[in-house]
Structure 1
């Protein structure tokens, strides 16, 4: 078993405990925050994602070890260098996450995470098995070239993702001064919202400072409750339909192109999404853009 996977496996009872608590405490709320079909799909997607990540790491680790021999620095592990690794990986995660909303090839994987119309702790488990294919791992290679051991890099990645589990909830409101520094449930609700004013904002992993620095921060507003999901007319509980939704659309578009330039635009241009233009209580009304 790869140590990275052991981190998330060890934390799985904690994740399940928080899901159970949130479900029990929200049973009488309207609208419901949980649907068993949605949560079951999230669980299956999590297992598929972990399996694909484990396989990808097994296959790619020889490449990462080979790449590490060309490192720029010999980094000795200490409290300071490990803290720097956390900071650097969080910075790189911000740009990976932002790119995943701007580049269709990356969005094809990331859209899985955004496709639920609900927002609860189980939504954090809603991940795509195609992340290794879309190239998420490429964003961590600068750390390896800088001199951090590959095992440390992916352990830090796992801990960053573990932190993000706890921001997928409506049960926690705002957290005072922490809102200025950390990614919080309030900030991440904005990120998952399909309201026009919230789309493509708050890409933070752990630290919200990157969004504040690079102009992608928007606070949650009491007069604009978040509505969740993607702006496309898509809603499914089938894990395979969820996983391959955008890949299928991209393939259909690619079949009709007539030049390499068009193909590159289909694959690596902006996602072919719908953009919400009207806010209403039922969902995100949208028109094609």
Structure 2
């Protein structure tokens, strides 16, 4: 059975919509706790830019470059067995995204591109595609996925993308699918394997936690997207089976709408600074942290 890119994208959209409906029914999808007036704008713009413009443009660009400079390699891997295709995508797409994500939390310039993803003070499927517009355009894993498609593995990518996005969407949702499973004693061995293999709400929520002194927070680790195994392998994993008390960015001034979407093209936009009702301003948090020494 072969899926077209359009069919694969439709299935991913239906998965996303399904999680949206669950959140709408259980956790106020349109009115998250501590939501600012700019959150929805950032999420809508970045989601549609990636899915409609950035990702298709990268695939087309890679294809055009391949036809121009490497026409002899087009479709060279088309008859590869599925397990070889899986290995190639896990290494060159998913593991590469792990390292890009990890670099984005250790390099100030890259973190400015990634900051929008963590600026929200809530978890939700709304965050799945939330990032600076340049963040995905520069992401090596998307370009490498395009190269694998050009080499003839588009048939596998259609299935791979569905599985990967199912995991990622589920890991961001504030309706944690793993929570009830941890309470079933008979599933303990299964969940031990699952939480060390793929990203779950518990492990990924930890990455989005706001306060470093929260035992469930680990925003300097748990970088995996499809596979959490990369965190286990490279020493950045923290597994608690608990969820942070709050989410967002600690000890940094608030990022403006322009900064979130188009830094460094729009490095300053003070008139658009987000105000989060009822929340302690980030500058005050930073000053308090410095004063506390």
**Structure 1-normalised TM-score?**
0.68
Match of 1:244 among 259, 262, 271: 262
Structure 2 matches for 1:37-116, cutoff 5 A?
Answer: 38-39=39-40, 41-50=42-51, 51-65=53-67, 66=69, 69=72, 76-88=79-91, 89-116=93-120
Distance 2:210 2:199 in 1: 18
Rate the CA distance shift 1:44–1:9 in 2: closer, same or farther, 3 A: farther
Q: Aligned equivalents of 1:76 and 1:63: distance in 2?
A: 22
Alignment of 1:1-289 (within 5 A): 4=5, 7-27=8-28, 32=33, 38-39=39-40, 41-50=42-51, 51-65=53-67, 66=69, 69=72, 76-88=79-91, 89-131=93-135, 133-137=137-141, 140=144, 144=148, 148-149=151-152, 151=154, 155=158, 158-159=161-162, 160-172=164-176, 173-174=178-179, 175=181, 176-177=191-192, 178-196=194-212, 198-220=218-240, 222=242, 225-229=245-249, 231-234=251-254, 238=257, 240-245=258-263, 248-249=266-267, 285-286=285-286
Query: How many aligned positions are there?
Result: 251
Whether the 8 Å CA contact 2:35–2:121 is kept in 1: the answer is no
Gaps of 5+ in 1: 251-280
Q: C-alpha separation between the residues in 2 aligned to 1:157 and 1:230? A: 35
Quote the offset at 1:148 in angstroms: 4.8
For 1:167, what is the secondary structure of its paired residue? helix
8 Å contact from structure 2 (residues 63, 146) kept in 1: no
Q: CA separation in 2, counterparts of 1:106 and 1:213?
A: 23
CA positional deviation for 1:92: 2.2
TM-score by length of 2: 0.67
CA RMSD of aligned residues (A): 3.9
How far 1:171 sits from its partner (Å)? 1.8
After superposition, the Cα gap between the structure-2 partners of 1:75 and 1:192, relative to the gap in structure 1 and judged at 3 Å, is same
Q: CA deviation at 1:17?
A: 2.7
SS at match of 1:166: helix
* Structure 2 unaligned regions, length at least 5: 182-190, 269-278
Instruction: Write out per-residue CA displacement over residues 135-156 of structure 1, whole angstroms, 9 at most, x where no aligned residue.
Output: 43576279749x9536368647
